[in-house]
Amino acid sequence: MNIALIAHDKKKDDLVRFVLAYKDIFAKHSLSGTGTTGLRVMEATGLQVKRFQSGPLGGDQQIGALIAKNKMDIVFFFRDPLTAQPHEPDVTALVRLCDVYSVPLATNMGTAEVLIKGLERGDIAWRNIVNEIK
């Protein structure tokens, strides 16, 4: 599976800890991330992460383009709902694309836990069918 890792500044530590906790699961998949988030995950876990621009510089849109091409299967986007984001329209567009293309999206730790356990059990295997149709 192709997995995107994105986190707002105040949530980056949470995402890094989450990936560390489930490193064995993430290691079986292809990881992508926005600039700093991807770098922090790589440094903390040793996992390879294809890095895009930072979110405010277009990284969210780069990942959104992959979603629109059905080349992204899962998105872990730890959002900070208490801090205004200068690129909020990009964030909204990314969330919308996940809905349009039925890409599972976790925006917080609680949802991420359910999604990673589902990935581990094979509950997301239906995405393989979508990938064959591309």
Exposure on the CB side of residue 55, measured as CA atoms within 13 A:
23
90 catalytic residue (yes or no): no
Strand order in the sheet with 49-51: 49-51, 30-33, 2-7, 74-78, 105-106
Q: Exactly one of 60, 73, 90, 123 is catalytic; which is it?
A: 60
The CA distance from 18 to 15, in Å, is 5
For 2, the enclosing helix (H) or strand (E) is strand 2-7
Burial, 134: exposed, middle or buried (Cβ in 10 Å; 0-12, 13-18, 19+)? exposed
Tokens 């599972």, located at residue = 104
Question: Which residues carry out catalysis?
Answer: 60
